[in-house]
Structures are given as structure tokens and as C-alpha cells.
Structure 1
Amino acid sequence: MIGILGAGAFGTALAVALGRSGRAVRLWARDADQVRAMQATRRNAVALPDVDLPETVSVHAEIAEVVPAEALLLCVPMQALAALLDGHTGIDGSCPLVACCKGVDLTSLRGPVALIRDRRPEAVAAILTGPGFAADIARGLPTALTLAATERGAALQDLLSTQTLRLYRTDDIIGAELGGALKNVVAIAAGVVIGAGLGESARAALLTRGYAEMLRLAMALGARPETLAGLSGLGDLVLTCTSAQSRNFRYGAALGQGTVFDPSVTVEGIATARAVLRLAAGLGIDMPVTAMVDALASGRIALNDAIARLMSRPLKQE
């Protein structure tokens, strides 16, 4: 049995994909009303209203009903991961804990695997990340993701792969974490470019310079460049910078258009930009795209001023 904590879009999509493959899946949601509704309708009316839950998927309101499991997938937002681990002692090291979130914790400046290891040092910790929209995974469309683990990676890869969900394995946890986190920041910037009507050429330039920022920080923290060139880095970057399915891209587009974005939608790149700038400052690394996103998101700078600052930076060799 595979346990999934978090019945948002991604957690539900993974439950559907794994359930369709014949695996027994137990899905936990913190909202008891949501649990009752999903049990009754066999659908997640909020996150994936058009997708039926397979019979192999059960929905639960108590974590004790989900653990122990062959693996426990933690599908909560990055900024909620520490609270989930701190608030539920039933999540222990009896099974592998696989983070399915992207970002950097604002309090500790750590990625999801480091948070798990800090709070559950006895557990096998891993991260599942890469270019996969929940709607595509739930519909059974071909998707490839990265599983980063230093222990039991091959076993987890076999357990979590299906005919439509193909997992590639790496032991570069730092690279996989940072690729998934930093691309959200660049996706916001790409959305700003398109929302402001600056054009596709500007988006291509922004994506390229944003990728250079990702590499600079990730390598300084010990990541391997080939990891950033893979699914969890470049692959995820391309997806989220070019599709309106990305919440980060849509948020950036709203900033570029000067419109209000739905505050109920989680936009991981906002907190990640703030945390990453603190990390980069300690390492003496320049990250102008990230700085622009943070300044725009916090309202410290107007859009025209942000664009002017980026375009007036000193000319240099690529």
C-alpha cells in the first residue's frame, strides 16, 4: 500500500495514476468535509473535478489510517511541510518519506529532503519532482519525473512508476530540489514578461538567463550541472515557463497585466524567491531575475522600473 498525505491536485493525481496501475493507495486530506465529499462522489471536486478515483484508492481523514505504508508521499505545499512533520508524530521512519513539493523553507532555508532528515533522521528520505502537471498525470497522459534518493532509490522507482508515469532516478538530491524550487521563480518572471506584452523573444531571453541563475546557485550548493540539465531542472523550467497551467506562470502574468491574482491559489515561487535571495546573499551570488520577482511580488518596485533595471544592467560576456 502507498500512502499519500495531501489531497490537493498533485496528491490526488498521483493517487489516481498509481491506483489505475493496480496499487492500493490511501489518500489523506486534512479537511474532514473534503474527505466525506470525496468518499461519496469518488472525485476531488475542487482540485480535479473531472477525474474519477479508481476503486483501489481510499480517502481518509486520519493519518493513522494511512501509515505505515510501502512509501509515504508528502504532497503538501513546501511552506506547510515542516508543520505537517512537526504536528503528526504518526509520520515516522517506518517507511520511506517522499517529498512531492518544490521550494525552499523560509524559516530554515532548507529543501524538503533536508527538512525530512532533520525531523525524521531515521527515515529514508527522497523527493519526486520534475515536469508534470497534475491534470496530465490524472488523465493518464505520458509524464516523466525525477526521483532523487540516496537510499532505496531503485526500489522506490519501481514502486512509483506506472505505464504512463515514468520515473528517472538520481542520487543528486540537492540538484533535484533546487531545480524544482528555482524554476518556479523563473516561471513567475516569464509570466510577467508575457503578461506585460513584452513578447516571445523576451520570454526566451528571460528563460535562458533564469536558467543561468539556477545553475550558479545550485552548483555553489553542491549540485551537479547534469541534474539541472535534466527533467528536474531544464525540463520543469520549460514546462512552467510556457504553459498557463502553471500557477507560478499565471501569477506572473497577473503581475505583468496589473490584475489581481486569486489569493487562495498557492504560488510556491513567491516564498522561494525570498528564501533563495537570502541563500544567494550568503554565498555572494548575483541573482537579478530572482531579485526582480521578489521585489515585484512584495510590491517594492513597479513593473516598468523592474524591467528598466534588468535592461540597464552592465553588458557582459555570456
Structure 2
Amino acid sequence: MAPVEPVRRVAVLGAGSWGTTFAKVLADAGTEVRLWARRREVADEINAERRNGGYLPGVELPEGLRATDDAAEAVHGADAVVLAVPSQTLRENLAGWQPVLPPEATLVSLAKGVELSTLHRMSQVIGEVADVPMDRVAVVSGPNLAVEIAAEQPTATVVACPDHDRAVAFQRACSTSYFRPYTNVDLIGIELSGACKNVIALACGMAVGLGFGDNTASSLITRGLAETTRLGVALGAEPMTFAGLAGLGDLVATCMSPLSRNRTFGERLGRGETVAEAQRAAHGQVAEGVKSCSSIRQLAARYGVEMPIADVVHRVCHEGLAPAPAAVELLGRERKPE
């Protein structure tokens, strides 16, 4: 295998809250960054005013971060291309970008989900659509609440890639005084952790909306981690991955923080709002778990893995089950050893 070159220039495709925040991290790390925004007015605002007010109000963006609404311009000469679009739109977006991707660039996913139509993880979608070997695909995952990272509050994350040297090269490109990335080679475990935690966060939000306290939330987090680990091991992941930053770390942050879109969405459902009402209140921000709960449920069924929390979340979001009976159903399950 040829040695991996340093990552000096990165394109970030997607100027939402996390894409813009990660572009800021890269620029603060001294990496040259080009951020692609779907709308020209967003790119113009970033370049002229150093802010993205629609997603990160009050955050000043560094001078080293330049934006464009031309994807070909953004990726030209990039050593790595970061894909910062929602999981269920990744395939369609990537198909449009594929012809202009640099031939040797590392392709990095920020999305956390399982594709509905294929039950593929995001790295599998990238490998298939971009027609690249999996050792060129990386994933960034961990406790990544964008608003806190944009405010430069200390956090740690994971850069996962089957090619360890490639993971290290990208790790160096996004290391700052406030953002500490670790490396891992377990793509399966890292990605399933990121997808499943959104579903468990919906359940925790519902519990809060129903008026339950920290005992309930911690029980859901712990049992949610158990069912995520069961699924991961069935798919070939390393069990210890789920005890790390992308597993337990991200799960706690997403389930407990009011900044979490999935937790907040679930809370609205718990208070009696419909899925449509909760979506309108989100103002275009995507709660990934609403769709991923269905694909994760199907994936679990395919591998014969029991995931009762994911199952009831799917039924609340898509089959009309009310949160209160869902809680009763979970508590009324057959008693068994932990």
C-alpha cells in the first residue's frame, strides 16, 4: 500500500450547523478549507461577513474558511472531501458530485444513519456510489454537538478508517486546542453507534416529555447501549467500540443535551405533538433518528437481533403508537437477567 500523503486541503460539502462547524475546526487546525453551500446567499454571507447566521448565529468563522456554491470548485485539489449532508440524502448528493471528486482523496462521512432503501451504513453508500475501495473512506463520530464545538468548548471525537495511516493523516488535519480526535479502524462499530444513538435519544426525549426523570433516562441509555452493542457484534463490530467516544460518549451527549435535535424532537412527541408538528417546530433541522429507527429496526430483524427500544420508537414515529403506552410496553416486557 502506497504511503498516505498529508491532508493539506479539505472540501466540506454541506453548510448546515455541523458541516460549518467542522469546516471551522479544520481551518482552526491550519488546514485549507473550502465549504460548499447549496445556496449562494449562504456562501456569500460566510465569505463577506464570516458567519452562517441561519445555522450558527453569533459564531465568527475564521478567515481561512472560504465558501462556494460550486461543488467542483470546492473539491478541486482537495486531499479529503467531507460529506456533511443528511444520511438519507447522501446517495443522491454524492451521485451528483462523483464526477468531480479528486481521484485519490479520502472521503469522510459526518452523517449518522442507516440508509432506508438498502440498510447500508454511510461508508457503504460512499464506497458504492463513488466506486472507491473502503480503505479510502473515513467516518468522524463522537459527542459532536455543533453549537458547543463552534463555541470552542473542549471535546473529543473519533476518526475511523480501515486504513490506519489515512485515519492518522486526517486526525492531524482536524486537531485543535479544543477538538481532540482519536483514531479507530472499526467502521462498523463507529457507524452503528452514531446511527443508533439518535434513536435512543428520541426515546429519552419522549421520556422527558412524559415527565419522567433521570432514572428513566439513564435506564434507556444503558439498555439502548446494550441493544446497539448486540446489533454491532452481529454485524462484526468490536464490542469495546461501544464503550468509547463514538459509542457511550455520543450516546450520553445526544440523549441528555437540550441541544440535541433528536432528544428535543422526542420531547415534543412525549408532550403530545404529532411527528408533523414536531418537524415544523424543528425549522428544517433534521432529526436523523426519525428515519433511521425504521432502517435500524429492519437491520436488526435481518440479523435476528432484539432491539425493543428501536422497535417502539419506530412505532411511535411511523405507526401511531402513543409515547405513554410505549413506555408501559417497555416496562412490561418479560423479566430476564441483565
Q: State the identity as a percent.
A: 40
Map of 2:46 onto structure 1: 38
- When normalised by structure 1's length, the TM-score is 0.97
Tell me the number of residue pairs that the alignment of Structure 1 and Structure 2 aligns: 318
- Structure 2 residue matching 1:290: 3-state secondary structure: helix
Q: Tell me which stretches of 4 or more aligned residues in structure 1 moved more than 3 Å.
A: none
Map of 1:56 onto structure 2: 64
Kindly provide the CA deviation profile for residues 262-307 of structure 1, in whole angstroms up to 9, marking residues without a partner as x.
4322010011110011111111111110011111111421222212
- When normalised by structure 2's length, the TM-score is 0.91
- Structure 1 residue matching 2:171: 3-state secondary structure: helix
Map of 2:262 onto structure 1: 248
Counterpart AA for 1:9: S
Map of 1:20 onto structure 2: 28
Structure 2 Cα separation of the partners of residues 93 and 227 of structure 1: 31
Kindly provide the CA deviation profile for residues 81-124 of structure 1, in whole angstroms up to 9, marking residues without a partner as x.
11111112213533100001101011111111111111223361
Map of 1:187 onto structure 2: 201
Asked if 1:219 is matched to 2:233, the reply is yes
Map of 2:155 onto structure 1: 143
Asked if 1:171 is matched to 2:185, the reply is yes
Counterpart AA for 2:326: A
Q: Which stretch shifts more, 119-128 or 179-188?
A: 119-128
Q: 1:161 aligns with which of 149, 171, 175?
A: 175
Displacement of 1:194:
0.9
Structure 2 Cα separation of the partners of residues 24 and 73 of structure 1: 13
Q: 1:266 aligns with which of 286, 290, 304?
A: 286
Displacement of 1:159:
1.7
Map of 2:321 onto structure 1: 301
- Structure 1 residue matching 2:232: 3-state secondary structure: helix
Map of 2:85 onto structure 1: 76
Alpha-carbon contact 1:85-1:91 (below 8 Å) kept: no
Alpha-carbon contact 2:15-2:37 (below 8 Å) kept: yes
Q: Which stretch shifts more, 243-252 or 303-312?
A: 303-312
Alpha-carbon contact 2:29-2:174 (below 8 Å) kept: no
Structure 2 Cα separation of the partners of residues 155 and 18 of structure 1: 13
Counterpart AA for 1:281: A
Alpha-carbon RMSD:
1.3
Structure 2 Cα separation of the partners of residues 250 and 183 of structure 1: 14
Displacement of 1:19:
1.5
Map of 1:127 onto structure 2: 139
Map of 1:235 onto structure 2: 249
Counterpart AA for 2:67: V
Q: Which stretch shifts more, 162-171 or 34-43?
A: 34-43
Q: 2:307 aligns with which of 284, 287, 292?
A: 287
Counterpart AA for 2:316: L
- Structure 1 residue matching 2:58: 3-state secondary structure: strand
Q: Which stretch shifts more, 291-300 or 14-23?
A: 14-23
Counterpart AA for 1:46: G
Counterpart AA for 2:278: F
Structure 2 Cα separation of the partners of residues 203 and 248 of structure 1: 14
Counterpart AA for 1:77: P
